Structure 1
Amino acid sequence: MDIGIFLPTGQAQWAPAGDPRDLIGFARRAEELGFSSLFVNDSLLSPRIEPLTMLAAVAPVTDRIRLGTGALLPVLRRPVQAAQALASVDLLSGGRLTVAVGAGFPGRFGKPLHELSQVPWERRFARLDETVALWRALWAGATAFHGEFHSFDAIPPATAPFQPGGPPIWLGGATPAALARTGRHYDGWLPYPPDPADYASGLEAVRATAQQAGRDPEALTPALFVNVRIDRDVESARRIMDAYTLANYGLPLDEAEQIQAFALGTPEDVTATLHRYTAAGARHVVARLGALELTDQREQLELLAALTLPASP
């Protein structure tokens, strides 16, 4: 089992009193404590540190911890430039990059992002899959690429990543179409279903599709994106997480819980929830800490380490 952490790159998580440069120390501490991975979010509408910039800053000051995006929105970026940036982060980290991607979803964080990026909202899933295929072609040294959305007759030498063939690419999302696409094309799965039973059935569907596509189902990484708040009781944890979801999404906790996975309450409560997901098949849990100040983020980091990494200092 791998336990990872989301860096609190959103301005709501460290402002107004915090200094975003302190995120470097946060990353170092996560590695010291023994966490397996350090992930960053992506958005154009929520003020936050740009994810690839953050990973480039963290890569040279860490040695072991895996770095990841969860989830990067590839179609909002120029694909060749994004491939170069990702390869560069992989080089700077010595091959520690994992790229979880998504296509966005309807509502505040969906179509408006595409309008800002001047990219059509329609057929975004097909565009995402083709962008990932283009990245892999570039990383493999392709000199030409012809798809529905991108076509290049003469591609100059591209920046080669540290990992042969490029970093592993995971897909977020749990719709039937996303499950099928994960099994056919991706290296891992990073959803956030509110019900562990949905995680289990989704993972079964991913593996079945992989088998049908002639791929090794066990080679795909089953990961989980979960929001975590450890507190003295459930009521206190819910109160803080409600403020967190309002600040980050404009949604109260009651509504956010219908969309995303949450583990809230005492250490025993959080442990029990995480165990339900691992029993459903999750093998790489990436926790986003529910805290609106960097000091509280650090406290939650230490609490989660003590809970899940008993050998940590």
Structure 2
Amino acid sequence: MEYGVALPTMVRGVEGRDLPAWAHRAEAAGFADLAVLDRLVYGNDEPLVALAAAAAVTERIRLTTGILIAPYRGNTALVAKQAASVHHLSDGRLSLGVAAGARPDDYAASGAEFGDRGRRLDAMLAEMRKIWAGGDIGPEPPGGDPEILVGGRAPAALRRAVAHGDGYFAAAGPPRTFAERAAEVRRRWQEAGRPGSPRVVAQAYYALGPGADAAVREHLGDYYSFAGRLADMMIKGAPTTPERLRETAGAFAEAGCDELVLVPCASGPEQLDLLAETLEEAA
């Protein structure tokens, strides 16, 4: 199982100059992937813009939107061009994770319809494939199209991953839930007659070091303030010690995870260093 780490774009108070430094440090630490989350009605940097900045200071690490809420971006051709541009600027390192999202306020702020977002995402993914295949909208993706990972919890999202994606990107949650969804995606993949196997990626929040518990409560309590009991579940499930983080990683590996992306609840560079040390000890 590979390990990725998310840029702390969602952490309140993170400074813009910290994000390229974090990206460079993550690559030097040997992580396979640098991911970024998406929201519109929140204080985060836009995901593809953030990854373009990361592309400029890295050479090897994969760059992933984990995930991009595509349907509130109404111009499919523009999204395809933006994604192709990041893929081009990074010499073919973009992995485009997409999902329909669950927050009506993001859609209201962009003037997009919420109720038919799944149907529109299906159409967007098919159109982006056609755009990348050639035509007037560039740049031409180097070394082939960006990988597409489809996220979401609903059965429609699992179907979408098989119909349009190269794999599945699971939302944060317990390993047992991931195992069930990953197994379902793999089953559907085989039934559809698709060659090979889908790449399945999981996500987990974490904080380490002094103040880790407080950082988790503050960050996830704020980010999931709309979610009631789900916020409490997320806080309880986020590892805050090396021992718990290694247990969590082991559980995801046993669940058949190809890559685990760790999402920091604090933005200090020590979070990246402590994570790398913990995972190295688990190897």
Provide Cα deviations, 1:30-74, integer angstroms capped at 9, x if missing partner: 111111111111111111111111111111221101111011011
8 Å contact kept, 2:224–2:230: no
Kindly name which structure, 1 or 2, has the bigger radius of gyration based on alpha carbons.
1
Partner amino acid, structure 1, of 2:262: A
Q: Which ranges in structure 1 are unaligned for 5 or more consecutive residues?
A: 143-155
- Whole-Å separation in 2 of the counterparts to 1:311 and 1:273: 11
What does residue range 15-54 of structure 1 map to in structure 2 within 5 Å?
A: 19-54=15-50
4+ residue stretches of structure 1 with deviation over 4 A?
A: 251-254
Aligned to 1:138: 131
1:90 Cα offset (Å): 0.4
- Whole-Å separation in 1 of the counterparts to 2:26 and 2:47: 17
Aligned to 2:205: 227
Task: Decide which of 106, 119, 122 is 1:113's aligned counterpart.
Answer: 106
Provide Cα deviations, 1:163-203, integer angstroms capped at 9, x if missing partner: 31x10110111222222222232111111353322211211
Are 1:249 and 2:227 an aligned pair? no
Aligned to 1:308: 279
What does residue range 42-191 of structure 1 map to in structure 2 within 5 Å?
A: 42-77=38-73, 78-105=75-102, 110-141=103-134, 156-164=136-144, 166-191=145-170
Q: 1:163 to 1:310 in 2, by over 3 A?
A: farther
- Whole-Å separation in 2 of the counterparts to 1:31 and 1:238: 26
8 Å contact kept, 1:267–1:307: yes
Aligned to 2:4: 4
1:259 Cα offset (Å): 6.1
For normalisation by structure 2, the TM-score amounts to: 0.92
- Whole-Å separation in 2 of the counterparts to 1:252 and 1:116: 19
Aligned to 1:299: 270
What does residue range 285-296 of structure 1 map to in structure 2 within 5 Å?
A: 285-291=260-266, 294-295=267-268
1:251 Cα offset (Å): 5.7
Q: 1:254 to 1:68 in 2, by over 3 A?
A: same
1:94 Cα offset (Å): 0.4
- Whole-Å separation in 2 of the counterparts to 1:255 and 1:239: 18
Aligned to 1:212: 191
Provide Cα deviations, 1:1-26, integer angstroms capped at 9, x if missing partner: 21111111136051xxxx31121111
- Whole-Å separation in 2 of the counterparts to 1:39 and 1:115: 26
- Whole-Å separation in 2 of the counterparts to 1:253 and 1:280: 27
Partner amino acid, structure 2, of 1:212: E
Fraction of identical pairs, as percent: 34
In angstroms, what is the RMSD of aligned CA positions?
2.3
Say which SS state the counterpart of residue 170 (structure 1) adopts: strand
What does residue range 253-268 of structure 1 map to in structure 2 within 5 Å?
A: 255-258=230-233, 262-268=237-243
1:255 Cα offset (Å): 3.1
Say which SS state the counterpart of residue 69 (structure 1) adopts: strand
Provide Cα deviations, 1:127-179, integer angstroms capped at 9, x if missing partner: 1111011111000015xxxxxxxxxxxxx343211131x10110111222222
Say which SS state the counterpart of residue 282 (structure 1) adopts: coil
8 Å contact kept, 1:6–1:39: yes
Say which SS state the counterpart of residue 309 (structure 1) adopts: helix
- Whole-Å separation in 2 of the counterparts to 1:21 and 1:7: 12
1:286 Cα offset (Å): 0.7
Q: 1:119 to 1:261 in 2, by over 3 A?
A: farther
Partner amino acid, structure 1, of 2:99: G
8 Å contact kept, 2:8–2:265: no
Are 1:281 and 2:228 an aligned pair? no
Partner amino acid, structure 1, of 2:62: R
Matched pairs, number: 282
Range 176-185 or range 205-214, more displaced: 176-185
